[in-house]
Structure 1
């Protein structure tokens, strides 16, 4: 078997246009590293693919040696961290974005990040609602039913998925769109990344000629008043209004900041955000584009989770802000993200299942030292427990890690799971793609 593996690996090295790394190779440790220092992944082989033919060849290699296949797209995530002993297909070289302004679409490589997408679409006044951090992978966010800064205006990321080019577990190239393999396209609308390797995605874009944002920072102790004001501004405002409320580390006590985004121009935003700037605050900046809400810088440890909320009464606001008193590290934060508007108005027959939630509570822990692991993980659990009385039985799959089967069902949707398992049986009956949130074949 060792001789067979050696021969197959030599052939893979010779045939791939990209790069191949195995343990002991120069560059292996760099290739396996991820931004979250808490993750120590050790794949059996890493195939850094240059194009779709490389992906096909890599999957054939894995099937020849009976290796499971893990996929690394452009960004990061909690669920796909344990890939020891697998073939890792690294798509980060496949990050091209081609915009068709006449059709209002973009073809996005499987390794593209939100930053790649934004830079390609911005010159045309077009955008898609995909994550809040330019370092997040587009494919992972869409396939996992993630959220973005324009959700209330245009709907969640998965609603913008018009087509996917996929390499299956049999190393076959297939396309899924409204006319071809529609059941597979349905599964990919937030059903996770377990159905194949998405080498390219076609997204519907939206005209955003006048994006604007305002950030208001408040002093210690101002969190409850600021969050309540943000709740009222969003509740009374149009669907084009979105943003986030954040509790951040600060001395002598945590600070609160509010980000408000609006697709109707800066003048209209100033009027809508008036109740927020009328409160005593330390700083307020209005302009465009909206600032990123970054995930962990390289070398830091991170963990996060989320709870969808059916409502945000004053008691929930107080509970949320109280959780900020024990933020576990300098990059940690508590976020409240508004839903509703275009999220609730989307196609109810598709995952994701959180359409009718009103808010997302998103605790994010970021800390430098392994000695802080226990405290940080406990804080994330406590933050989710603190808002549980107002929680909905749904969650964005991309915002949770391995939290057990009940939470995975909450991310996929209880009513969707049977159909997802049937699609999995057709396209991956041997469960070759078993990492991330694994949908098992029926």
Structure 2
């Protein structure tokens, strides 16, 4: 593999002549702006960004990069904590300018380009009273979210993001454009649904949409001295939660630095039924605030954006639990008491309902039993290398303390380079099938994102 360390625009002239988009190198004024991804702690400096405007640009870029044997990476939305979208001294096939969204209100489907974000899709689909399962931060790229699975506030009713994928258009390692669906390249379609970003460049995706406009949602906030009681109550309450109700749980910090426990329910059925279902939850304990109210789904998705802004430094860890027990509750409470930064948080995602009723073998995403995915997020403004390490150590120690009680594997979108041993455990019986797919569609391991990295 050839490493490209020094380059100028003359070196790329043959490729540039083929592109509608543009090539950005370190000498360009816009390089630092283009290089920035969500996690400001990522300092990787690629040799060039090929800013693709369309599918043909992706094809030209991939064929050119492969002809020279340069290392490459692929960027979609760029909301990446581990920096996997960037490759040191490599070429980035950058799909982030490709953000077009087309909604078909008659068929309840959406088609998006590979760089489109959650916000792009939801803002467009809500004009027609439609939505699909997405995460809760609008800047997250839909392609990356889908390829890893896609937890979100609608998954109890409609499954994971990847469960709503109808087709994906992919440029494969040999530069060919193919469409994968239940009827075309069905083997690849299986692997794209939760198998990670290792089979090609996804240039567009088609989703099933559902009638969703106003949901009953908002935060219930509790002081930390009620945490144990709320955790126990939550663990019991979710066992009978209907599909329409998905409840995120966690701890955030108020502007003054005080940690508060939150419950964040989203009920996507009728508002009247939602009021009845949520009544026992809202009556429990002594909340500091009850912000639950009818809210447009697009507004809900945008409501958490300010909490995790682009450019801040982040380090994340995840563990999945089959529920909360006394031991894990103590780990979580102790972790919160040791927050190393006012910007750190713990968020627990509620996996149940329609998402759990999909067979583990129906798509690459394998952990289909009801569970809670614990996301441990260290966020901080940079001060010193020693401070950076302290924040990372807090997240790592919290993850390690949960590990004895956790399910095998993890959430593939949130594993980092140091957790390769968890990848086969995450896919379970699907791992060998993914290996076989890798040998078919990318036998030379051109794409080896840490997201679902498949070892040949």
Change (3 A) 1:162 1:347: farther
**For 1:266, which of 271, 287, 294 is the aligned residue?**
271
Determine if the alignment matches structure 1 residue 148 to structure 2 residue 152: yes
CA distance in 1, matches of 2:358, 2:413: 19
CA distance in 1, matches of 2:87, 2:34: 13
TM-score scaled by structure 1? Answer: 0.94
The question of whether the paired residues in 1 share the 8 Å contact of 2:37 and 2:80 is answered with: no
The question of whether the paired residues in 2 share the 8 Å contact of 1:163 and 1:185 is answered with: yes
- Partner SS, residue 152 of structure 1: helix
Question: What does the per-residue CA deviation read over 1:347-381, in whole Å, with 9 as the maximum and x for residues that have no partner?
Answer: 32122122114211111110002532211111111
2:54 corresponding residue in structure 1: 51
Determine if the alignment matches structure 1 residue 125 to structure 2 residue 137: no
**For 1:113, which of 107, 112, 117 is the aligned residue?**
117
- Flag structure 1 segments of 5+ consecutive residues without an equivalent: none
Determine if the alignment matches structure 1 residue 287 to structure 2 residue 300: no
| Aligned length in residues | 441
TM-score scaled by structure 2? Answer: 0.91
2:444 corresponding residue in structure 1: 430
- Partner SS, residue 245 of structure 1: strand
1:302 corresponding residue in structure 2: 314
The question of whether the paired residues in 1 share the 8 Å contact of 2:316 and 2:378 is answered with: yes
CA distance in 1, matches of 2:138, 2:288: 27
**For 2:91, which of 84, 87, 98 is the aligned residue?**
87
The question of whether the paired residues in 2 share the 8 Å contact of 1:51 and 1:94 is answered with: yes
CA distance in 2, matches of 1:198, 1:82: 16
1:102 corresponding residue in structure 2: 106
2:221 corresponding residue in structure 1: 217
**For 2:209, which of 205, 209, 221 is the aligned residue?**
205
Determine if the alignment matches structure 1 residue 11 to structure 2 residue 14: yes
The Cα of 1:316 is off from its aligned counterpart by 2.2
1:319 corresponding residue in structure 2: 331
CA distance in 1, matches of 2:374, 2:453: 25
Determine if the alignment matches structure 1 residue 386 to structure 2 residue 401: yes
- Partner SS, residue 28 of structure 2: coil
- Partner SS, residue 273 of structure 1: helix
- Flag structure 2 segments of 5+ consecutive residues without an equivalent: none
- Partner SS, residue 156 of structure 1: coil
CA distance in 1, matches of 2:373, 2:347: 8
Determine if the alignment matches structure 1 residue 376 to structure 2 residue 391: yes
**For 1:171, which of 172, 175, 192 is the aligned residue?**
175
The question of whether the paired residues in 1 share the 8 Å contact of 2:248 and 2:347 is answered with: yes
CA distance in 2, matches of 1:252, 1:425: 50
The question of whether the paired residues in 2 share the 8 Å contact of 1:68 and 1:434 is answered with: no
Question: What does the per-residue CA deviation read over 1:73-132, in whole Å, with 9 as the maximum and x for residues that have no partner?
Answer: 013123415511221011111111111222221111100000001011112222111211
Question: What does the per-residue CA deviation read over 1:163-207, in whole Å, with 9 as the maximum and x for residues that have no partner?
Answer: 110111111111111111111111101111110000001111222
1:358 corresponding residue in structure 2: 371
- Partner SS, residue 38 of structure 2: coil
Change (3 A) 1:395 1:440: closer
- Partner SS, residue 355 of structure 2: coil
- Partner SS, residue 83 of structure 1: coil
Change (3 A) 1:174 1:254: same
2:432 corresponding residue in structure 1: 418
